[in-house]
């Protein structure tokens, strides 16, 4: 079974530029998550989708970050404009159903390492 | 108080040792608890869920203490391959919502020959 796919794996941009990340979850997984992991920290949930609807985006900096999952499968996360403090690994994860409904297993993708100069 | 707190370590132990990690959480209404493992420059992977009665998986034992709001992970007979960062994850409920998944900063374990 294929895992969670993410691209690109690495990205270097200058501050104030825009960047987009793509995620393809495991087939059949209804729930998709985007996390930001800064070096030395644990992952921080940015946004959580159930199919194509947003379940939780309370920690998404909406002035510069946006995410969509229009057809309930693939998802994109965009940063516009980027700041130095956005340098981090952006992890996408998926699960069969909501963690909150007892689905304990999130499967993470390899992440996209973003460096903002 | 931080929502999920862990000792960052590093814990440096010899092969065969027993090592224990604790994690405290701030929200007493939290319902779900997990331990994830993250290898250097890799993605996190679920190690085990933590149940109220405690649970064991081979050399790994997880326990939950709701009264004191902490969870623990015990690793017996440590192997070199256990070297990784162990992340404590709590589903925090804030009154009627479905909850938010909060990760701790992780505890780094290094098992030496």
Position B2 scores a pLDDT of 74
pLDDT at A48 over 60: yes
A60-114: per-residue pLDDT in tens?
999 999 999 988 899 999 999 999 999 999 999 998 877 666 666 789 999 999 9
Position B53 scores a pLDDT of 86
| Mean pLDDT taken over chain B | 90
CB–CB contact B43 A42 (8 Å): no
Report chain B residues whose CB lies below 8 A from the CB of A112. Answer: none
Position B91 scores a pLDDT of 84
Mean pLDDT of A8-26: 97
Structure-token match 């516009």, residue found: A80
pLDDT at A38 over 70: yes
Nearest CA in chain A to B99: A100
Mean pLDDT of B60-69: 94
Nearest-CA distance A57 → chain B (Å): 10
pLDDT at B94 over 60: no
Nearest-CA distance A53 → chain B (Å): 14
CB–CB contact A104 B49 (8 Å): yes
Position B22 scores a pLDDT of 94
- By the 8 A CB rule, do B22 and B7 touch? yes
- B25-43 burial code (b ≥16 CB/10 A, e <16): bebeebebbbbbbbeeeeb
High-pLDDT (> 70) share of chain A, %: 94
Structure-token match 């992890």, residue found: A91
Mean pLDDT of B28-47: 91
**3-state class (DSSP) for residue B25:** strand
Could you tell me which residues come within 8 angstroms of residue A12 by beta carbon, excluding any fewer than 6 positions away?
Answer: A114, A115, A117
- By the 8 A CB rule, do B71 and B25 touch? yes
What is each CA distance from A1 to A26, A69, B36, B80, in whole angstroms? 8, 22, 21, 28
- B84-97 burial code (b ≥16 CB/10 A, e <16): bbbbbbbbbbeeee
| Mean pLDDT taken over chain A | 92
């Amino acid at each position: 079974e294929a895992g969670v796919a993410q691209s690109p794996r690495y990205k270097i941009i200058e501050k104030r530029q825009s960047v987009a990340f793509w995620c393809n979850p495991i087939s059949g997984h209804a729930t998709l998550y985007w996390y930001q992991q800064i070096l030395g920290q644990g992952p921080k949930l940015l946004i959580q989708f159930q199919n194509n609807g947003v379940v939780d985006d309370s920690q998404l900096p909406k002035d510069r970050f946006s995410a969509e999952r229009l057809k309930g499968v693939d998802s994109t996360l965009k940063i516009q404009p980027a700041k130095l403090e956005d340098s981090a690994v952006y992890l996408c994860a998926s699960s069969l159903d909501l963690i909150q409904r007892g689905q304990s297993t999130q499967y993470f993708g390899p992440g996209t390492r973003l460096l903002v100069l | 108080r931080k929502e999920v707190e862990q000792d960052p370590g590093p814990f440096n132990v010899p092969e065969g040792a027993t090592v224990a990690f604790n994690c405290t959480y701030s929200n007493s209404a939290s319902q779900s608890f997990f331990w994830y493992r993250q290898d250097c420059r890799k993605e996190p992977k679920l190690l085990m869920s933590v149940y109220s009665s405690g649970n064991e998986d081979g050399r790994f034992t997880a326990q939950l203490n709701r009264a004191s709001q902490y969870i623990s992970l015990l690793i017996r007979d440590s192997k070199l391959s256990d070297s990784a960062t162990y992340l404590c994850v709590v589903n925090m409920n804030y009154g009627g919502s479905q909850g938010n998944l909060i990760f701790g900063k992780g505890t780094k374990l290094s098992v030496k020959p």
